[in-house]
Amino acid sequence: MVALVIAEHDNGSLKGATHHTVTAAAQCGTGSGSEVHVLVAGSNCGPAAEAAAQIAGVSKVLVADAPHFADGLAENVAEQILAVAGSYSHILAPATAFGKNILPRVAAKLDVAQISEITKVDSPDTFERPIYAGNAIATVQSLDPIKVITVRGTGFDAAAASGGSAAVEQIAAAADFGKSAFVGRELAKSDRPELTAAKIIVSGGRGMGSGDNFKLLEPLADKLGAAMGASRAAVDAGYVPNDWQVGQTGKIVAPSLYIAVGISGAIQHLAGMKDSKTIVAINKDPEAPIFAVADYGLVGDLFEVIPALVQELG
């Protein structure tokens, strides 16, 4: 069986989610003929293709280089995938906005059922994925000839970024779909790590009381080199921007350390961070649900605890 991973990239480098997807793809194959290929569709995307070739476990990188792939328009990338889909038993992409935008189009055109956000591969045709905000795990078997899958990165270790020596093959670029055009992009700029890639995250909830009070968390995040996140309640209250939201309807994260400050622990939030390696909860309510998943819990007033913690960190 040969699996195809759709690389998420910015033409110059790969996004981290691609490495997790490669690991999932490798687990889909059995037998000596199993291989993992990576498709890089972009414009002047040679650096991204070279990075893909270095990933351990990848045997071939397909490069479709054309101006209309420059901005990753879903319609164009989907057409490129369809052009090569017949050679693969599995087509996988990260369960990010990128993958979620492209693969449903591919599945529809192939007339197969997409399997979304898998967290485990049981066999080449059987997968596990969370449902009900992560409170249950569904085991799904697909009899489709081509499995179209999005991969939740928190469920798989990242494949090593070096050690591979895959062949790089230029392929014919699919024509511009012509029904969509890139207009513009507004990117939030920050000196902090990107939320889904951060090894440490400091998150605040409604208990912070206001947007101004989130500044209390900044010294702690600075000391730890952490990204900053928030619960949906804090985002909905207008305390912080939407791109800080962690949870079922926000970003799914699994850092080495997750510090939840003033977050009660609604199931929707827990679905987005409960796979973190170590969870520290700070809340004045000893009955807060967050303590049920926390490795370390501190019951106290966050407005006293956080400054003291920052002081201890020096």
Domains along the chain with CATH numbers: 2-170 (3.40.50.620), 195-312 (3.40.50.1220)
d(CA 171, CA 178): 20
Output the average pLDDT for the chain: 94
* pLDDT value for 29: 82
| H helix runs in the chain, sequence order | 16-28, 46-53, 74-84, 97-110, 218-224, 232-236, 267-273, 302-312
pTM comes to 0.86
Query: pLDDT of 85-123, one tens digit each?
Result: 999 999 999 999 999 999 999 999 999 999 999 999 999
pLDDT confidence of 314, banded at 50, 70, 90? confident
* pLDDT value for 197: 85
For the cut 70, the answer to whether the pLDDT of residue 32 exceeds it is no
Report the range of poorest mean pLDDT among 18-22, 29-33, 155-159.
Answer: 29-33
* Token output for 271: 């679905």
* pLDDT value for 159: 96
Query: pLDDT of 114-148, one tens digit each?
Result: 999 999 999 999 999 999 878 899 999 999 999 99
Give the residue-averaged pLDDT of 275-303.
96
For the cut 90, the answer to whether the pLDDT of residue 308 exceeds it is yes
For the cut 80, the answer to whether the pLDDT of residue 225 exceeds it is yes
Query: pLDDT of 145-167, one tens digit each?
Result: 999 999 998 899 999 999 999 99
Report the half-sphere exposure of 289 (CA within 13 A, side-chain side): 9
